[in-house]
């Protein structure tokens, strides 16, 4: 069985201390997750595991919650 494991993705992290590149860093988190999903598909992994935090906070923005839109 092939397993793809990632951890501590923290989608929705605000990166408040990086105002010059804040939006790029936020977007990069989603893009990195998409790359991981794509690699798992290419490698025919049977299980995709997120160990740790998928989201940065308990309460998240609606757009951050729609991860599915990023993964299509």
Domain boundaries, the chain: 3-71
State the pLDDT at residue 38: 95
d(CA 53, CA 59): 13
Calculate the dihedral angle through the C-alpha atoms of 17, 53, 29, 11, rounding to the nearest 10 degrees. Answer: -70
State the pLDDT at residue 15: 93
Q: What is the pTM of this model?
A: 0.80
User: Are 46 and 3 in contact, with CB atoms under 8 Å apart?
Assistant: yes
Alpha helices (H) along 1-72: 22-42, 62-65, 67-71
**Tens of each residue's pLDDT in the chain, 72 residues:** 999 999 999 988 889 999 999 989 988 998 999 999 999 999 999 999 999 998 888 777 776 666 656 665
């Amino acid at each position: 069985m092939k397993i793809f494991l990632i951890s501590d993705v923290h989608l929705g992290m605000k990166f408040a201390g990086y105002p010059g590149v804040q939006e790029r860093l936020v977007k990069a988190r989603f893009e990195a997750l998409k790359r991981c999903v794509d690699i798992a598909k290419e490698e025919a992994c049977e299980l995709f595991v997120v160990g740790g935090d998928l989201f940065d906070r308990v309460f998240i923005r609606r757009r951050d919650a729609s991860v599915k839109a990023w993964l299509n």
